[in-house]
Amino acid sequence: MTTAKTVAFTTSQLEEVRRLQGLYPDRRGALLPVLHMAQETFGWISLDVQEYVAGLFDLSPAHVHEVVTFYTLFHQAPTGRHVVAVCHNLSCHLAGAQDILAHLRRRLGVEVGETTADGRVTLQAVECLCACEAAPMAQVDDRYELNLTPDKVDRILEGLR
Amino acid sequence: MAETVLMRNFDRANSHTLAVYRGAGGYAAWDRARTMEPGAITEAVKASNLRGLGGAGFPTGMKWSFIPKSHTGPVYLVVNADEGEPGTFKDRYLLERDPHALIEGMLIAARAIRSALGFVYIRGEYVQPGRRFSAAVKEAYDAGLLGSGFDLVVHRGAGAYICGEETGLLSSLEGKKGWPKIKPPFPAIKGAFGQPTIVNNVETLCCVPPIVERGAAWFAGLGTKTQGGTRMYSVSGRVKRPGVYEAPVSITLRQLIERAGGVSGTGRLKGVVPGGGSAAILRADEIDVAMDVDGLKAAGSMIGSAGVVVMDESVSIPEALLVLARFYAHESCGQCTPCRESTGWIYKMVHRIVDGHGRKDDLDTILDVARRGGGTTICAFYDGAIGPYISYIEKFRDEFEGLCRS
């Protein structure tokens, strides 16, 4: 994703920000939800986005930066159009998560943490996603993909454009 | 087959909808509770011997009773749906398959603690469970169950294991990084946004409607002397039928593994994590233990979140510890020096051993570092990490030494 977009929410998004802020006894409780909105809108959370969001809350950009950098789901750099996050914690490890990761590295030609040259997929290895009954598993964008095999991984990759 | 309480609705088609939940008798407990004195609800939960099912096992009714009686300002009810303990997946099932049970449990709990506003903190990765739960919340608002005296906000986390710690969760809910807070004051005195707050796990609150409906004595009678009820055990790893199994808390670990089809792989058991990644490992000869809070404490481990991970004889215990050591090093929030430094150092040492470059005295160094940090930190995260560090090495030392060069 390039950063051609201007960093600003639309009028209706700003209404949503105010609605979210009103749900909490202190409006800054809405910071995580608004950062999720910002990521969905701008693709990732750049320093410019952090400064913009800080302004919506009368917070210092440093506070927002501290929050953004604390949580794994906030992207501080552009990602691919799809994010494939393979769980490599205990139950998935026992079910062969390393083989799934090796297969993905080979098929995508990237290492963990990298994005394919065509910008299609970012590969991650993540801690327990709490679907251990269906190990090995991965989160692909918003979905959980369960009981992975190399064949199933290939079918999933074909569906990612 | 034991009675199902928490999973009673799971097999019904569209169990997540209000119509089906109501059709199965849902919200009858709330109808009863709304005519009860708040104090009487708390007394019933106390008498039921319900203990928190998120990890700490604290008696739920007692927790509720800590809200100061003299307090006249707002009181908040916060649900910990930030499920993240390795090997645990029960709350995901409840959010997806019986979301109204949680809403009903919240309504009753909110009446007991006189709360008009609740938050459900759902881990950020649970997108589908979060959507499912939010849809149920909308139904409950449309039906007037919510919004007439009690409001509920669904809050999405953003990926941090430490936010499952109740004060880390509150920091996160307040729009900060999820650093745990120094206790006291405990959340019941000064919690979310500086107000008295009760933080309960999803499964814990789902126990509340059956307690109100069928009585505290019935619930207490399902369990042991010190813990009432059934609970949902997440069973994974090397078993033939991994999944979530509901059982009375008196079930033994051996019985539970049998219910999950027995050991897979070689078929011969090597070790079991009985209560999520942070629980001390048990050897194959230690599984005749009751799976309640006190049973596992007596066995030198903990029931925690009841995530059971089974390892057969072909599993490398040092590699399993490496996976967990990496996890703790990654998830340490960085606030307390002993935790931040030790988790990183121990990960490096275990890594070196698994890579074949370790020395036997590294094992003593790991044990020494692990023990020194215990009890020195703001929250229980590091104490949880110590469980695996020490137990894996003490119980399977030969296997670690076999990898060492000298």
User: How far is it, in rounded angstroms, from Cα B50 to Cα B219?
Assistant: 8
Nearest-CA distance from A125 to chain B in Å?
11
What is the rounded average pLDDT of the residues B383-404?
97
pLDDT over 60 (residue A107) = yes
- A–B interface: beta-carbon pairs under 8 A: 147
Q: Are B349 and B366 in contact (CB under 8 A)?
A: yes
51-80 in chain A: CB under 8 A from chain B = 57, 63, 66-67, 70-74
Q: What are B275-290's pLDDT values in tens digits?
A: 999 999 999 999 999 9
Token pair belonging to B278: 């942070």
pLDDT over 60 (residue A125) = yes
- The chain A residue lying nearest B276, using CA atoms, is A90
Cβ separation of A32 and B172 shorter than 8 Å? yes
Return the pLDDT at B299: 96
- The architecture of the domain spanning A82-158 is 3-Layer(aba) Sandwich (3.40)
pLDDT over 80 (residue B227) = yes
Q: What are B253-268's pLDDT values in tens digits?
A: 999 999 999 999 999 9
Return the pLDDT at A5: 56
pLDDT over 70 (residue A2) = no
Closest in A26, A74, A90 to B174, CB measured: A26
pLDDT over 90 (residue A67) = yes
Domain boundaries along the sequence of chain A: 11-70, 82-158
Q: Which domains does chain B have, with CATH numbers?
A: 18-221 (3.40.50.11540), 230-312 (3.10.20.600), 317-401 (1.20.1440.230)
What is the rounded average pLDDT of the residues B53-75?
96
Q: Which of B323, B391, B392 should be substituted to probe chain A, the one whose Cβ sees the most A Cβ atoms within 10 Å?
A: B323
Residue A104's pLDDT band, with cuts at 50, 70 and 90, is very high
Bridge partner list, B152:
B118
Closest in B83, B86, B175 to A31, CB measured: B175
pLDDT over 90 (residue B10) = yes
Residue B2's pLDDT band, with cuts at 50, 70 and 90, is low
Task: Record the pTM.
Answer: 0.97
Q: What are B340-351's pLDDT values in tens digits?
A: 999 999 999 999
User: How far is it, in rounded angstroms, from Cα B114 to Cα B189?
Assistant: 14
pLDDT over 90 (residue B405) = no
- The chain B residue lying nearest A91, using CA atoms, is B237
Q: What are A149-160's pLDDT values in tens digits?
A: 999 999 999 999
pLDDT over 90 (residue A6) = no
Which of helix, strand or coil describes residue B80? strand
Return the pLDDT at A139: 98
Q: Hey, what long-range contacts does B191-195 have (CB within 8 A, 24 or more apart)?
A: B191/B76, B191/B78, B192/A25, B192/B76, B192/B78, B192/B119, B193/A24, B193/A25, B193/A26, B193/A29, B193/B76, B195/A25, B195/B73, B195/B74, B195/B75, B195/B76
Q: What are B146-184's pLDDT values in tens digits?
A: 999 999 999 999 999 999 999 999 999 999 999 999 999
What is the rounded average pLDDT of the residues B333-360?
97
- N- to C-terminal Cα distance for chain B? 52
Token pair belonging to B150: 């009690």
Nearest of B340, B392, B349, B346 to residue B370 by alpha carbon: B346
Cβ separation of B175 and A32 shorter than 8 Å? yes
The reply to whether A11-70 and A82-158 are identical in fold is no
pLDDT over 90 (residue B241) = yes
Q: Are B374 and B383 in contact (CB under 8 A)?
A: yes
- The architecture of the domain spanning A11-70 is Orthogonal Bundle (1.10)
Residue A57 Rama label (left phi>0; alpha psi -120 to 50; beta)? alpha
Bridge partner list, B98:
none
By the CB < 8 Å criterion, does B174 face chain A? yes
Q: What are B16-50's pLDDT values in tens digits?
A: 999 999 999 999 999 999 999 999 999 999 999 99
By the CB < 8 Å criterion, does B79 face chain A? no
By the CB < 8 Å criterion, does A8 face chain B? no
Residue B3's pLDDT band, with cuts at 50, 70 and 90, is confident
Strands B307-312 and B269-273: antiparallel
By the CB < 8 Å criterion, does A144 face chain B? yes
pLDDT over 60 (residue B1) = no
Q: What are B289-306's pLDDT values in tens digits?
A: 999 999 999 999 999 999
